[in-house]
Structure 1
Amino acid sequence: MRRLRRYLPASAGIAIGLIALLLVVFMPSPNSSGSGQAPLAADQTLSFPIAQDLADLDPALISNPADVDLLRNLFSGLYRFDAKLREVPDLAVGQPVLSADGLIYTFHLRQDARFSNGDPITASDFVYSWHRAAAKQGDYAGLFGVIAGYSDFVSGKVAQMSGLRTLDDYTLEVTLVKRAAYFQTETGLWPFWLVDKKVIASAGDAVWFNKAETLVGSGPFRLTARTPGQSMDFAPVAGWYGGKTGSLTRVHVEVMADTAAQVAQYESGVFSLIGFGRQPLAPAAATRYTSDPKLKDQLALVPAGTTFWIGFNLRSGPFASVDGGRAGRRAFS
């Protein structure tokens, strides 16, 4: 039986983090003798399909959850979420210092972090990246709305948010317009990821993310090749500030909309795993893998955050009146 452990050793903690899936299909680890660890395959390539190509590669514009799952390995921010969705420091050192009134957050930064091209990371990169993301007004730009001066900045009244400044090269201060206990959690989301000002200025703000050599981030992996609509290749960033990324030398991703074909290629050994980006299995395959004891241990459920909302019809029906609308809101609150 083909075994994923030959492609992805347990020591590759960062590489495992790459597979942030709602449902993953994988091969069980082998039973080995002697050292208790299976020998590594000569080709340390992790390969898997995605149902559709990336819609956006610019952190300021990303909105597709599958895109977030993939690109969080190329970019990073103050904090990140671990395998159990707990927020842990990334470019930040520990927890922020919070003022007595709960409005001012002071973040201390790592001093050894660099972008994938070697450019050093300082507090000014956060000021630039956050202003840029707010100005782009992507689907999630509103997350910056709690920062003092956001409204005036996006309306063009001022050139910079008053609540965002550097105290020194490795200290970032953020002032909010109101207490917001959720703000620190938000800093781990993709609009808050860093981009390299030098690269964008040189390559062009509208196109820098279209080429592998200028798609520069601060995550553990970098893009090495891409054929839009077909495939992407990634490699570990040498000397990444977060430590080693295990034994992987390459990650190959193919765009394949046919989920039945994905399963067939997984079972023939072409793909190391399927199900990336919260993509469900084809119904027939899901039934087979969940019901067959010999196949069931190839399934892994991994937590993923999601939000659902309910809307009321306020034009007609029971919620159209003031009293009906109020009763409905109370019933669901």
Structure 2
Amino acid sequence: MERLKNKITQAVLLSVGLTLASTSFSTFAADVPAGTQLAKVQELVRGNGAEVASLDPHKTEGVPESHVIRDLLEGLVNQDSEGNTIPGVATSWETTDNKLFTFHLRKDAKWSNGDPVTAEDFVYSFKRVVDPVTASPYAWYLEMTNMVNAKEIIEGTADKETLGIKAIDPYTLQVTLTTAVPYFVKMMGHTTVKPVHKASIEKFGDKWTKPENFVGNGAFTVANWVVNERIELVPNNYYWDNAHTVLTKVTFLPIENQVAEMNRFLSGEIDITYELPNEHYKRLAKDHAESVSIPGNLCSYYYGFNNAKAPFNDVRVRKALSYAIDRNVITKFLLGQGQKPAYFLTPEIVAGFHPQMPAYGKLTQKQRVQEAKDLLSEAGFNKQNPLKFTLLYNTSENHKKIAAAIQSMWKKSLGVDVQLENQEWKTYLDTRRQGDFDVTRAGWCGDYNEASSFLSLMQSNNSSNDPKYNSAEYDQIMNKALLSTNDQERNALYAEAEVVLAKDMPIAPIYQYVKARLVNPHVGGFPTNNAEDKIFSKDLYIKQ
């Protein structure tokens, strides 16, 4: 659907890092195209992969949570179906130096209890994220924005009240950064920087997310939540653009088994799946081509080594295991939906950045395996002393199949003895965060469309750096890159960072995602060109 030209211009300016003059926007929402026949029942059912760990945006870190929270809470900016940055609670914003940003909030934005959404709500929420008491797993995200004192507050050396954010008046928000960040506005579309209702949290504490207590400012609100069964949302009648919301109910189902999810889709119970079973892809593409959706996705799939634990603190062991993975077998035969083999962390779909293929990626698989054997032997592992460890993955048939395939590759090529261990989503996240693993399956989806959204993950101060990678060289390169406002210089530094990752191999990149799922053709407004897979139910509708 065509979008307003000034919004596209705003997104383009942001993506290339130009300084913005004062820019304002008229409100806009996705409307149903003229002539569309709507179904009598406007209820949508979505598979969501796993039971959410929380609906508190400041205490989550996963994709399943973001899918639901995106409907419940609205930040300063949103994205359209093309991935362009468009107004959310903020109708306009300006900066002259990419360090001081002023956001002008819409005066008709309300919480689901009728309270007005004000600049103070964002001040409270941002301070809550960085407050060590909150223990937000994504607190580092505020640090990555270079917001004044975010780092010091997170480390406990400064008071949260010193954060570089203030309300000029109820509808004007000002954010101050220590250094220029030309893509800062893009970063404001992330789950972590969505506002929460202060009075509800003060009254109910951690129980504020229960349906009977929930107060949000998004297009929908929580009507029912049965753990491990369903989350049901209904329209927020106080939402500023509620008149354009077509759906009357949205249900998220936590289905971890892709075959079960597929069967429920084919029987008409589900309208949009979280993904699809790899082994059924060819049949689905043939028999249900109208329902198979496979856009590119801003995500990388990798295995993380526990760099702080022997023997994975030995780069030779990490390289040997990475080299022995036949990525072509994974992408062409096990997946076969358009995924690309990955030899670097940043996916090639990232705007403006083109990673260079590292030396090991240019070798044949036979050559990589020979190098792997030599490296493992040098590290002291052989037939008499085989390497043994556990590979952790979260419960999913697709992850299980990939793990089993790589387990077989390691056994056949290197004689490595690998035990597979799966855990349900919440437990798996806790285990990874605590560093209680040898090797773990992981995936990372960009929080904004810029290479730093991936490469910052491996900085030593990033709380999501579960592999515990700690490199002064890497940190120095990334710190320099994040201070640069020159796109060419920044991308050159990002390329250097990828070279260091290939040298140190703290993780084994495996493939670049596509987002393969099933979408019923009767779902209208579904975005097929949003690299971050940001789906807003307020933009969807059911056709006859």
TM-score (norm 2): 0.48
- 2-side partners of 1:168 and 1:290: how far apart? 54
- SS state of the match for residue 207, structure 1? helix
Distance in 2, matches of 1:225 and 1:15, equals: 27
Alignment of 1:102-251 (within 5 A): 102-135=98-131, 136-145=134-143, 146-154=146-154, 155-204=156-205, 206-209=206-209, 211-251=210-250
For 2:279 and 2:230, locate their aligned partners in 1 and report how far apart those are by CA, in whole Å. 26
d(CA) in 1 for partners of 2:183 and 2:302? 19
Superposition map of 1:65-76 within 5 A: 65-76=63-74
Compared with structure 1, are the counterparts of its residues 122 and 44 closer, same or farther at alpha carbon in structure 2 (3 Å cutoff)? same
For residue 463 of structure 2, what is the aligned residue in structure 1?
none
Deviation at 1:315, TM superposition (A): 4.5
CA deviation map 1:8-60 (0-9, x unaligned)? xxxxx7699xxxxxxxxxxxxxxxxxx9544523x322123333110121101
In structure 2, the partner of 1:50 is: 48
SS of equivalent residue, structure 2 residue 90? coil
CA distance 1:289–1:307, change in 2 (3 Å)? closer
Distance in 2, matches of 1:125 and 1:297, equals 43
Q: What pairs up with 1:278-289 in 2 under 5 angstroms?
A: 280-289=275-284
Quote how far apart the aligned CAs of 1:329 are: 4.6
Q: Secondary structure at the match of 1:88?
A: strand
After superposition, what is the alpha-carbon deviation per residue over 1:279-330, rounded to whole angstroms, capped at 9, x for unaligned?
x3112332112133xx21112234543257899998445999x9xx99x958
Candidates 290, 294, 306, aligned match of 1:297: 290
Tell me the percent identity.
24
Are residues 182 and 331 of structure 1, via their aligned partners in 2, closer, same or farther at CA, if it must alter by over 3 Å? Answer: closer
Three-state SS of the structure 1 residue aligned to 2:241 is coil
Contact 1:103 1:178 in 2 (8 A): yes
How many angstroms does 1:91 deviate by? 0.7
Contact 1:263 1:285 in 2 (8 A): no
Q: Which amino acid aligns with 1:153?
A: I
Structure-2 change in CA distance of 1:215 and 1:176 (3 Å): same
Higher-helix-fraction structure:
2
Gap runs ≥5 in structure 1:
1-12, 17-34
**Residue 125 of structure 2 contacts residue 194 of structure 2 at CA under 8 Å; is this kept in 1?**
yes
Q: Which moved more, 1:296-305 or 1:65-74?
A: 296-305
On the 8 A contact 1:220/1:245 being kept in 2, the answer is: no
2:94 aligned partner: 97
Report the counterpart of residue 332 of structure 1 in structure 2. 499
SS of the counterpart of 2:59?
coil
Count of aligned positions: 288
Task: Give 3-state SS (helix, strand or coil) of 1:93's partner.
Answer: strand
- Distance, in Å, in 2 between the alignment partners of 1:226 and 1:307 is 31
Q: Quickly say closer, same or farther: Cα 1:225–1:243, change in 2 above 3 A.
A: closer
> 1:103, CA displacement in angstroms?
1.8
Question: Structure 1 pair 246/97, CA: closer, same or farther in 2 (3 Å)?
Answer: closer
Q: Is the 8 A contact 1:83 1:303 kept in 2?
A: no
1:187, CA displacement in angstroms?
Answer: 1.1
Aligned equivalents of 1:107 and 1:37: distance in 2?
36
Q: Following TM superposition, where does structure 1 have runs of at least 4 consecutive aligned residues deviating by more than 3 angstroms?
A: 13-16, 35-39, 301-304, 307-320, 328-333
Instruction: Provide the secondary structure at the position in 2 that maps to 1:184.
Output: helix
Q: Identify unmatched segments of 5+ residues in structure 2.
A: 1-28, 320-358, 360-374, 376-470, 478-494, 501-544
By how many angstroms is 1:128 displaced? 0.1
- Identify if the C-alpha distance between structure 1 residues 261 and 158 changes in structure 2 by more than 3 Å, giving closer, same or farther: closer
**Counterpart in 1 of 2:258?**
259
> Which SS does the other structure have where 2:262 is aligned?
helix
8 Å CA contact 2:265–2:271 kept in 1: the answer is yes
Q: CA offsets per residue over residues 63-117 of structure 1, 9 Å max, x none? A: 11122122101011111122221111101112x2213x43211111111100112
Q: Which secondary structure state, in structure 1, belongs to the residue aligned with residue 44 of structure 2?
A: strand
AA of the residue aligned to 1:298: S
Find the residue that maps to 1:252 and give its secondary structure.
strand
Query: Counterpart of 2:243 in 1: which secondary structure?
Result: coil
8 Å CA contact 1:223, 1:234 repeated in 2: yes
The 1:224–1:310 alpha-carbon spacing in structure 2 relative to 1, beyond 3 Å, is closer
1:253: how far off?
Answer: 2.5
Structure 2 SS opposite 1:265: helix
Tell me if the contact between 1:215 and 1:223 (Cα under 8 Å) persists in the aligned partners.
yes
Alignment partner of 1:83 is 2:76: no
Task: Name the CA shift for 1:225/1:14 in 2 (closer, same or farther; >3 Å).
Answer: farther
Supply the distance in 2 between the matched residues of 1:272 and 1:131 (Cα, whole angstroms): 38
Indicate the SS of the match to 2:233.
strand
Question: Per-residue deviation at 1:242?
Answer: 2.5
Moved more, 261-270 or 221-230: 261-270
State the SS of the aligned residue for 1:72. Answer: helix
Amino acid at match of 2:115: D
Q: How far 1:250 sits from its partner (Å)?
A: 1.3
Measure, in 1, the Cα distance between the counterparts of 2:38 and 2:211. 32
